Structure 1
Amino acid sequence: MRFLMTTFGSRGDVEPIAGLAAALRAQGAEAVVCAPPDEEFARLLAGLGVELVPMGAPVRPQISGAKPPSTADAPRRAAGLVEAQYETVMAAGEGCDAVVGTGLPPVGARLAAERLGARFVFAGFVPGVLPSPDHRPLGRPGKPFPEGETDNLVLWEVDRENLQALYGPPLDARRAELGMEPVPDVRDYLLDHRPWLATDPGLGPWAEAPGYEIEHPGAWFVPDERPLPADLEAFLDAGGPPVYVGFGSMPFQSGRDAAAAAVAAIRDQGRRVVVSRGWADLAADGDDCFAVGEANHRRLFARAAAVVHHGGAGTTHKAALAGAPQVVVPQIADQPYWAGRVAALGLGAAHDGPNPTYESMTEALAVALAPETKARAAGFAAGMRTDGAERAARLLIEGGRR
Structure 2
Amino acid sequence: MSRFLFTMLPANDLGLPTRLVPIARALADRGHDIAVFNPAPAPAKLIAEAGLRNLPMPQRAMPHPPFDLGKASQAWDVEEMYASLFSDEEFVRANTALHVDLIRDYQPDVVVDSFGVFACLAARIRGVPLTTINQGNFHPASDGFLFWKGKRPTNLPSAVSFFNTVAAEYGIGPFARSVDLLAGDLSLIVGTPETDPVSPTARVTHIGPIVWQRGNAELPAEIALLNSGKPIVWVYSGNPRYAPVPTAIDSIVVIRAAIAALADEPVEVVLTTCYQEVPAEIGTLPSNFHHAAYVPGRAMAERSALMVHHGGHSSVMQTLAAGTPAVIIPTITERESNARRLVALGAGEIVLPIDGPDEEKQIDIADFAAKIRRVLDEPGYRASAVRVSQSMRSFGGAELAANLIEQLAATKEAS
1:289 CA displacement = 1.4
Q: Tell me how far 1:246 sits from its aligned partner.
A: 2.0
Q: Which residue of 2 aligns with 1:377?
A: 385
SS of 1:228 mapped into structure 2: coil
Residue aligning to 1:198: 189
Question: Displacement, 1:242?
Answer: 2.0
**1:28-107 equivalent positions in 2, closer than 5 A:** 28-35=31-38, 37-55=39-57, 69=69, 71=71, 74-75=85-86, 79-80=90-91, 83-93=94-104, 94-104=106-116, 106=117
String of CA shifts for 1:86-121, please: whole Å, max 9, x gaps: 4234334443211122225x1x32332233321123
Pairwise mapping of residues 177-196 of structure 1 onto structure 2 (< 5 A)?
Answer: 178=170, 180=171, 182-187=173-178, 190-191=181-182, 196=187
- In structure 2, do the counterparts of structure 1 residues 18 and 167 end up closer, same or farther at CA, with 3 Å as the change threshold? farther
Distance 1:305 1:348 in 2: 12
Matching residue of 2:129: 119
Q: Does 1:315 align with 2:294?
A: no
Q: Does the 8 Å CA contact 1:339/1:351 hold for their aligned counterparts?
A: no
Cα distance in 2, alignment partners of residues 286 and 78 from structure 1: 48
Structure 1 residue 82, shift from structure 2 partner: 5.3
The structure-2 alpha-carbon separation of the partners of 1:340 and 1:91, relative to structure 1 and needing over 3 Å to count, comes to closer
C-alpha contact 1:347 1:377 (8 A) present in aligned 2:
yes
TM-superposed deviation, 1:48: 2.2
Measure, in 1, the Cα distance between the counterparts of 2:392 and 2:399: 15
1:257 and 2:253 matched: yes
Residues 98 and 137 of structure 1: is their aligned pair in 2 closer, same or farther, counting only changes over 3 Å? same
- The answer (yes or no) to whether the contact 2:115–2:138 under 8 Å persists in 1 is no
Mapped contact 2:328–2:349 kept (Cα < 8 A):
yes
**Per-residue deviation at 1:170?**
4.7
- Equivalents in 2 of 1:84, 1:69: separation in Å? 18
Matching residue's letter, 1:136: D
Q: How many residues align?
A: 371
What pairs up with 1:108-257 in 2 under 5 angstroms?
A: 108-125=118-135, 127-132=136-141, 136-138=143-145, 150=150, 152=151, 154-155=152-153, 162-163=157-158, 166-173=159-166, 175-176=168-169, 178=170, 180=171, 182-187=173-178, 190-191=181-182, 196-201=187-192, 204-210=195-201, 212-225=202-215, 226-234=217-225, 236-251=226-241, 254-257=250-253
1:388 has 2:378 as partner:
no
How far is 1:395 from its partner? Answer: 0.6
Q: CA deviation at 1:326?
A: 0.4
Alignment counterpart, residue 278 of structure 2, candidates 281, 301, 304:
281
Three-state SS of the structure 2 residue aligned to 1:33 is strand
Counterpart residue number, 2:339: 339
Runs of at least 5 residues in structure 1 that lack an aligned partner in the other structure: 140-144
Cα–Cα, structure 1 residues 249 and 188, in superposed 2: closer, same or farther, change >3 Å? Answer: closer
Q: Hey, what's the Cα distance between the residues in 1 that align with 2:137 and 2:296?
A: 28
Scaled by the length of structure 2, the TM-score of the pair is 0.78
Shift of 1:250: 4.2
* Per-residue deviation, residues 304-328 of structure 1 (Å, max 9, x unmatched): 2211110101111111122221001
Residue of structure 2 in register with 1:330 after alignment:
330
**Whole-Å Cα distance in 2 between the matches of residues 193 and 158 of structure 1?**
27
Whichever residue aligns with residue 230 of structure 1, its letter is: A
Closer/same/farther in 2, CA of residues 258 and 229 from structure 1, 3 Å limit: closer
Q: Using a 3 Å threshold, how does the CA distance of structure 1 residues 372 and 12 change in structure 2: closer, same or farther?
A: same
Contact kept in structure 2, 1:326 and 1:347, CA below 8 Å: yes
Kindly provide the amino acid, as one letter, of the partner of residue 43 in structure 1.
K
Uncovered stretches (5+) of structure 2, i.e. residues with no partner: 72-82, 355-361
Q: Output the amino acid matched with 1:281.
A: V
Q: 1: CA distance between counterparts of 2:231 and 2:149?
A: 44
Q: Distance in 2 between the 1:12 and 1:312 partners?
A: 7
Runs of 4+ in 1 over 6 A off after TM superposition: none
| 3-state DSSP of counterpart to 2:144 | coil
Does structure 1 residue 401 correspond to structure 2 residue 410?
yes
Which is worse superposed, 289-298 or 351-360?
A: 351-360
The alpha carbon displacement at 1:19 in A equals 1.8
2:36 is aligned with 1:25: no
Residues 131 and 255 (structure 1 numbering): CA distance in 2 closer, same or farther, change over 3 Å?
Answer: closer
